[in-house]
A and B are shown apart, each in its own frame.
Chain A
Amino acid sequence: MTIASPSVSVAEPTLRRPRRRIKWGLIFTYVLVIIVTLTMLAPFVWMLSASVKLDRDVFAFPIQWIPEMPRWENYIDIWTKIPLGIFVWNTTKLTLIVTVLQLLTSSFAAYAFAKLNFPYRNLLFLAYIATIAMPWQVYMVPQFLLMRELGLNNTHLALIALQAFTAFGVFLMRQFYMSIPDELCEAARIDGMSEYGIWWRIMLPLSMPALSTLTIFTFVNTWNDFLGPLIYLTKTELKTIQIGIRMFITQYTQEYGLIMAASVVSLIPVLIVFLALQRFFVEGIASTGIKG
């Protein structure tokens, strides 16, 4: 349940310390690591601790990290105080549909780009490549106008349409398929397998690492997306958890305990997916370095 350790070990740079005093260097390292870890963790621990406190105790100083009387009711109240259930459902629905569509359509298109010959192949692929570096923020306004024209404003379909067909997905899958030998497809063709069969029976099972990377990138990006839902979804019953919590904050500014409990709830799914697929995430970053 932790980031995969490297296969190659590296001579540890024992900063500033000559070899015979390595013990001191090690102690120094541990102290530093623990300080850094505490800094990274502090906001999350504070969030957890505040989520079971009364509003007036949240800012008590010195900080009481473990409340004497944990108020677990906060976790019950948030579901009735705001439609958190609907927000969670909306986000889950959107995330699952986008992720599945993304995986299917990009691996499908990537197969043709990597293994089939057809006219304008390079030109079409260039269209994908050219937009990878194009920030979404540059064309989000025209995209919104188009969606409005299509009557998709204030629908989940708009968010699905704009997140499911990314250049990143096609690019990532294509790069992976390029590394699979062509002979494998040739052999299957001679055996009479159709191209669709080759994609489904040979390429998909072989590309599990790339699919996992794409899954976790898409999942995390869709679940955490903020600006997209902010632009498209104005009706409360359509909102995702991110803008739902944002709405909650503006309505109940002082209800710190409840806001923290809702935040904790919004973090849990990402935490689970992250811990389960973390190896692929880390490998994906290290090999592609591309961020959604």
Chain B
Amino acid sequence: MSSVTDGGAKPPVKTGMSKRRRKALNILVAYSFIAPNFIGFAVFTLGPILFAFALAFMHWDGSNPIQFAGLANFWKLFSDRVFQSAFWNTIIFTGFTVPLTLICALGLAILLNQKIFGRNFFRTVAFFPYVASLVAVAVVWNMIFHPEFGPVNMVLYSLGVDPKNLPAWAADRHWAMVTIIMFSIWKSMGYFMVIYLAGLQGISTELYEAADIDGATGWQKFWRITLPQLAPTTFFVSVMLTIQSFKVFDQVYMITQGGPGTSTLVLVYHIYNEAFISWDLGYSSMVALVLFLLVLLITIVQFRWTQRSEGDTA
């Protein structure tokens, strides 16, 4: 920021300056624009990224000297049961969260794209969970789904569910993941609704008018016009949702702490535990590398798909 005032004093273009000096000065000015951000970015983002790749092949506990580990951390992935359940839990979480959020977001978007009274208010309400602080809403979630006193189980009980069959939600091996998935859908569907709304507004009204003339029902219009026209949006939303789901951590930490047992332990949680609880920094980076490869895979798929569809239209 200081360069704003420093540089402002000497205007870069001056008459009578040699062409060469002027060019050098212009380059200097350009770099002074980049520098404040780029230095911070290089030191605190680029550096650590390169370090992360190196660290995955090292043994380090953070205090003793670093040792080269070769592929030892890699082989450990195959014997580490906790990693394996973290990996599969992440896949399961993603496998359910992505399609369910997609359907809910699309449903919401179609519902709130209609001309109804108070539409903007309803949209705001649907979107708010996304910006609300996760800690605050996770605490409420824990209370609402409290196995003994929570209102959800109270309602289920008053509907006649046997107390023995009431789910213990976050405290139950089988229900804990369900609880987290439901929370995640509720929290982020408003965000993807906004993207779908933008997609819906991009569909030409003429298509619907033509369909009306042909006597198409609403259901037919949905399957034959809305859904195919939204395909690029759906693809984009799936990619974003998948990447976001691979990175899940906050809600797991707040709602179940990865438990009971390892039933909701996810990859980022394992990275966190291995680094900041066990101080096995090299191995933690190896797990992080797995996360990176998962995200990279999705990014490549997205890149290919986008290139192909651009090729089609061109």
Residue positions of A touching B, CB distance < 8 A: 1-19, 25-26, 29-30, 32-33, 36-37, 39-44, 46-47, 50, 58-59, 61-63, 101, 104-106, 108-109, 111-113, 116-119, 121, 124, 127-128, 131, 133-135, 137-146, 148, 161-162, 164-167, 169-170, 189, 192-197, 199-200, 220, 223-224, 226-227, 230-231, 241-243, 245-246, 249, 256, 259-260, 263-264, 266-267, 270-271, 274-275, 278, 281-282, 285-287, 289, 291
The answer to whether B197 and A165 touch across the interface, beta carbons within 8 angstroms, is no
CB 8 Å contact bits of B195-206 with A (1 = contact, 0 = none) = 101101101010
Chain A contacts of B244 at CB under 8 A?
Answer: 291
The answer to whether A263 and B140 touch across the interface, beta carbons within 8 angstroms, is yes
Chain B contacts of A17 at CB under 8 A?
Answer: 218
The answer to whether A3 and B11 touch across the interface, beta carbons within 8 angstroms, is no
Out of A15, A36, A101, A289, which one reaches B218, CB within 8 Å? A15
The answer to whether B246 and A135 touch across the interface, beta carbons within 8 angstroms, is yes
Chain B contacts of A167 at CB under 8 A?
Answer: 41, 45
The answer to whether A285 and B135 touch across the interface, beta carbons within 8 angstroms, is no
Complex CA–CA separation, A135 to B209 (angstroms): 44
Chain B contacts of A3 at CB under 8 A?
Answer: 120, 123-124, 127, 194
Complex CA–CA separation, A231 to B141 (angstroms): 24
Chain A contacts of B137 at CB under 8 A?
Answer: 43-44, 47, 263
Out of A39, A137, A148, which one reaches B268, CB within 8 Å? A137
Residue positions of B touching A, CB distance < 8 A: 1, 4, 7-8, 10-13, 26-27, 29-31, 33-34, 36-38, 40-49, 51-52, 55, 62, 108, 110-116, 119-129, 131-137, 139-141, 143-144, 146, 149-151, 154, 158, 186, 190-191, 194-195, 197-198, 200-201, 203, 205, 208-209, 212, 217-219, 221-222, 226, 236, 240, 243-244, 246-247, 249-250, 253-254, 268, 271-272, 275-276, 281, 284-285, 288-289, 291-292, 295-296, 299
Point out which of B110, B131, B226 has the most chain A C-beta atoms below 10 A from its C-beta.
Answer: B131
Complex CA–CA separation, A15 to B284 (angstroms): 50
The answer to whether A108 and B36 touch across the interface, beta carbons within 8 angstroms, is yes
The answer to whether A13 and B247 touch across the interface, beta carbons within 8 angstroms, is no
Out of B40, B203, B212, which one reaches A164, CB within 8 Å? B40
B224 to chain A, nearest CB (A): 11
Complex CA–CA separation, A165 to B39 (angstroms): 9
Complex CA–CA separation, A144 to B111 (angstroms): 45
Complex CA–CA separation, A33 to B11 (angstroms): 59
10 A-B residue pairs with Cβ-Cβ distance under 8 Å, sorted by A, are A7-B201, A13-B114, A18-B218, A29-B114, A108-B4, A109-B33, A116-B33, A117-B26, A197-B8, A226-B254
Chain B contacts of A58 at CB under 8 A?
Answer: 143
Complex CA–CA separation, A272 to B214 (angstroms): 48
The answer to whether A137 and B249 touch across the interface, beta carbons within 8 angstroms, is yes
The answer to whether B131 and A14 touch across the interface, beta carbons within 8 angstroms, is no
Extra pairs beyond A43-B141, A138-B292, A164-B40 (13, CB < 8 Å): A10-B208, A13-B221, A15-B222, A29-B111, A116-B29, A118-B30, A142-B285, A193-B11, A194-B29, A227-B250, A231-B272, A274-B128, A289-B240
Closest residue on chain A to residue B136 by CB atoms: A263
Chain B contacts of A61 at CB under 8 A?
Answer: 149, 151, 154, 158
Chain A contacts of B30 at CB under 8 A?
Answer: 112, 116-118, 121, 195
Chain B contacts of A16 at CB under 8 A?
Answer: 217-219
Chain A contacts of B134 at CB under 8 A?
Answer: 224, 226, 242
Point out which of B190, B194, B218, B268 has the most chain A C-beta atoms below 10 A from its C-beta.
Answer: B218
Complex CA–CA separation, A287 to B201 (angstroms): 13
Complex CA–CA separation, A163 to B175 (angstroms): 35
A289 to chain B, nearest CB (A): 6
Out of B13, B136, B146, B291, which one reaches A267, CB within 8 Å? B136
Closest residue on chain B to residue A58 by CB atoms: B143
Complex CA–CA separation, A32 to B49 (angstroms): 47
Closest residue on chain A to residue B197 by CB atoms: A6
Out of A145, A223, A278, which one reaches B124, CB within 8 Å? A278
Out of B31, B133, B190, which one reaches A224, CB within 8 Å? B133
Complex CA–CA separation, A58 to B8 (angstroms): 60
B82 to chain A, nearest CB (A): 17
Complex CA–CA separation, A34 to B247 (angstroms): 32
